[in-house]
Amino acid sequence: MDLKDKLLSSFIAFENNMDLDHPVHDVRSEAIKNFEEKGFPSKKEEAWKYTSLNAIQKVDFSIFPKKENTLEYKDIKKYFLHEIDTYKIVFIDGVYSSYLSETTHDGVDVCLMSAALTKPQYKQIIDVYFNKVASKDESLTTLNTAFSKEGAYIYIPKNKVPKKPIQIVHLATGNEAALMLQPRNLVIVEENAEVQIIERHQSLTGNEVLTNSVTEIFAAKDANVDYYKVQNDENTASLIDNTYISQKDKSVVRVHTFSFGGKLTRNNLNFYQNGEYMDSVLKGVTILGEKQHVDHHTLVHHAQPNCESHQDYKGIFGEKSTGVFNGKIIVDKIAQKTNAFQQNNNILISDKATINTKPQLEIFADDVKCSHGCTIGQLDEDALFYLQSRGIPKKEAVALLMYAFANNVLESVRIPELKTRINKIIANKLGVRVGFDL
């Protein structure tokens, strides 16, 4: 039985444990029909031209964990941003861990999708927001919708700011030979509210893990959202991360994606601007080696005038790694005075590494400022020579140049402790000595 057939048969068992009278039941049923019709995307599709899921489909993944597992915080502390106090929503093999989590209902809701989808007090919000911005056509998104049950539910009411940042951490124990996870997150930030969120997916062993994640984010008028994705997983872990963002007037949403690990990672990041005077910020750093593969697909749809978007992605690719960047900006005819910037810069440090980059602009308005570009190259030989002439050994000089190349993306990270943590990961990846005078 291939993975598609296994998922379709597993859906029957999944639905038997759900409330068939709940409105979400109809949403799930439509979603599984879409996935049954389309199946997994293939390289025949333009959007998946450089990323193959064939090998993944041959793995015999467990769709549901066979038992609940527990972990001790001391054993996994390093995967958390433990330098500061945060709310935590933690899942172990897809199952919520109350022991490791710290949630709240004190003025804001930081809790579980399973509660939001089943408890009456959340029904009105679920009816308004759940599956409203996520694609109803993209097959892997609809697969997640069909199995949507658990994940993070974050609701920030008007004029509220949580007392501390929020961490969403998904841990895979490896107690299954191969496990598939499908978390569903819903983030709603009402008018003039703010939130900072850090998300991480982490395997604890070398067993195969496939995560098909969907996050919906709604930013109301004057809302401010910072979302950080830390992807530094084992080389047997694959992640398909689908994020859909709806913005209203004068809102600001920033998403930073740090891709350092994993076997195959596909990030689908979609911004929909549904108001005026808003800003969308998409930044990313990718550092790969071995046979790792990371594919960034971004979309910013400017549907109203007087808005901005800024995309800046940096990539460093070594050994036999492969990178993909496909960034699309759409400017509707009504969206005059749009200011859209997109840049993708890449360094290949191995003649066997590959990067495929395709920036796209579709502009239907005439009074706009839009630019896009990409670069692919090696390190600056003159800069390398200069550092060596100052007494820095070549290996360390190369590492310093790569560090400087990647590091400027961190300037917009607004959690100092997270910036320090990412700095250390980048330095470690590139071989920059701790304590070296930068």
Where does the pLDDT of residue 153 fall: very low under 50, low under 70, confident under 90, or very high at 90 and above? very high
pLDDT at 8: 97
Mean pLDDT score, 264-277? 98
pLDDT at 406: 87
Burial of residue 208 (number of CB atoms within 10 Å: 0-12, 13-18, 19+): buried
HEC profile of 415-437: CHHHHHHHHHHHHHHHCCCCCCC
Mean pLDDT score, 261-284? 98
Residue 168 reports pLDDT greater than 50: yes
Q: What is the pLDDT of residues 15-65, one digit of tens each?
A: 888 877 778 999 999 999 999 999 999 999 999 999 999 999 999 999 998
pLDDT at 408: 83
Q: What are phi and psi of 145, to 5 degrees?
A: -60, -40
Q: Are the C-beta atoms of 27 and 130 separated by less than 8 Å?
A: yes
Q: How far apart are CA 341 and CA 336, in angstroms?
A: 15
Residue 106 reports pLDDT greater than 90: yes
Mean pLDDT score, 209-232? 98
425 contacts: CB under 8 Å, gap ≥ 6: 232, 258, 260
% of the chain exceeding 70 in pLDDT: 99
